[in-house]
Structure 1
Amino acid sequence: ASDGAAVYPGTCRKGLAPGRTARAWRLRVPDVPADVFSFNDAWCGNRTQHLAAEVGDFVLKRADGFWAYQLAVVVDDAEQGVTDVVRGCDLIDSTARQIYLQGLLGLPTPNYLHVPVVTNELGEKLSKQTGAREIDSTDPLAALKQAAVFLGLNLAPAQDLAGFWSQAIAAWAKRRATSIP
């Protein structure tokens, strides 16, 4: 898979061996040209993914009994009337699966925008999930200034949050306009 995960080889596609219990529920992805999904991401441009070749059958219900992210996010977004999804680019490879599910379930497909994520020197996403340190929230202006420097935004010194946000929004919009393909 383009996100680094292995393509599911269809191990249980034809059923389980006698005595084996199902662990996860997977959605069978047909290997047909119609299952090449293209979508326009507002940041990353046009994207294409062939589900069978790049992902394979994917999990809808996990072995622990919980519904998988792909199905949960599709149903939640539709239930809440979400029209625009903005999330980290680390999730862009999930989008074709979600569009496929939306089509199967007769649900609307929102617009997508996947923004770059902050990474460490090894290219790992900085988040709670990866054990990144918490941001010091006792001085929000200092934390925001540090984030702006990290993101490469060249801002004049701001004395308050309103001044910071005014500059940061303008700088980000300018940067985004020059980085969209």
Structure 2
Amino acid sequence: MRYDRHTTPLPLVMMYRGRFAPSPTGSLHFGSLVAALGSWLFARAAGGAWIVRMEDLDREREVAGAAADILATLAAFGLDSDEPVIQQSHRSDLYATALDRLAAASHAYRCWCSRSDLEPFGGIHPRACVAHETSRPPAWRVRVHGETIGFDDAIQGAQTQHLGREVGDFVVWRADAGCAYQLAVVVDDAAQGITDVVRGADLLDSTPRQILLQRLLGLSQPTYAHLPLALGEDRRKLSKHEAALPVEATDPLPALRAALRFLGQPVSDARHHAALLSHAVCEFDARRIPRVSIAPTPFAALRKETC
């Protein structure tokens, strides 16, 4: 069923709401473009909304001007947010309220354990803290018991994770008084009414933790779809720190075509990105998306492609 949000009013709970949530640690690279385009295609094919959120909680890794550059590049590629872009750095009060709820229900506790304290345990926090209280500020961890969290991923299939054995009690508020990713993303997805999360498979392992937090906070669980990762020639995930990889905002067609091919989608011979995207939405089939992460066409070759 197709839904035109401009002509067919439906209750908000029935409307698809997807999002793309980059971190401003560098320019938009091909791997990020794949995630943006994939989430955009899911949303547009469902007749829903696509929202951009800037996840800028890690101020040490943030690159000055990167947020504006990412948004400008997305716009040049025809990928505009349907709603104003929010920044996580402006939402600390919301995250603190969620932490207070977890602590009040004894789901979260203060912890002074450092990474070196946890090394003998494989980095997994044991049932009890192994560090004594020190003068440094504590982090906050969520209690994990014997939960096995399962969910059906729209691309990767059935997933299960035993949180106690594989993760342990995990940090939701850092010792430097900053909200951790797992809590922030859960709070923001709920606040923005996100129904479907489409993102890279590198975050597949984080999803059970987020589902646990959703349950503890009484929040709705979105549907998840984890896209294959674009790998470099060394089979590692493409990184924003590799200077040769930013996509070319002044010439979007080659990278868009490559991203569509990477996602297993048909590519038209349109000579303008708007027509290319329109065709991609009409022909989009999520069943064509591969599960396995692969190396895309070398980016240097993309820039030489004749449009």
TM-score normalised per structure 1: 0.78
1:25 to 120, 140, 145: 140
Please say if residues 265 and 285 of structure 2, whose CA atoms lie closer than 8 Å, have aligned partners that are also in contact: no
Name which of 230, 233, 237 aligns with 1:125. 237
| Aligned-residue offset at 1:80 | 1.4
Summarize the Cα distance change of 1:80–1:7 in structure 2 as closer, same or farther, 3 Å threshold.
same
Where in structure 2 are the equivalents of 1:164-179 lying within 5 Å? 164-166=276-278, 168-169=280-281, 173=285, 176-177=287-288, 179=290
Per-residue CA deviations over 1:76-121 (Å, capped at 9, x if unaligned) read 1111111111111110111100110111111111111111121112
**How far did 1:18 drift?**
5.2
Distance, in Å, in 1 between the alignment partners of 2:257 and 2:221 is 36
Question: Displacement of 1:62 after TM fit?
Answer: 1.1
Range with bigger deviation, 44-53 or 132-141: 132-141
| TM-score where L is the length of structure 2 | 0.48
Regions of 4+ moved over 6 Å: none
**1:112 alignment counterpart:** 224
Give the whole-Å Cα distance in 1 for the aligned partners of 2:187 and 2:210. 10
Q: Structure 1 residues 47-56 or 78-87, which shifts more? A: 78-87
Measure, in 1, the Cα distance between the counterparts of 2:243 and 2:163: 31
Q: Does 1:88 align with 2:200?
A: yes
**Matched residues, number:** 170
Q: Point out which structure has higher relative CO (alpha carbons under 8 A, 6+ apart).
A: 2
Residue in 1 aligned with 2:185?
73
- The CA distance in 2 between the partners of 1:178 and 1:17, in whole Å, is 49
Residues 16 and 22 in structure 1, CA contact (< 8 A), matched pair in contact too: no
SS, match of residue 221 in structure 2: coil
Gaps of 5+ in 2: 1-121, 292-307
What is the deviation of 1:154?
6.3
Match of 2:252 among 140, 149, 155: 140
Task: Indicate the SS of the match to 2:189.
Answer: helix
Q: Check whether the contact 2:227–2:289 (CA below 8 A) recurs between aligned residues.
A: no
8 Å Cα contact 2:172-2:183 kept in structure 1? yes
Q: Report which stretch shifted further, 87-96 or 14-23.
A: 14-23
Give the match's secondary structure for 2:126: coil
Identity within the alignment, %: 47
- Higher deviation after alignment, 53-62 or 124-133: 124-133
1:46 to 123, 138, 158: 158
Counterpart of 1:53, as a letter, is: R
- Distance in 2 (CA, whole Å) between partners of 1:158 and 1:107 is 42
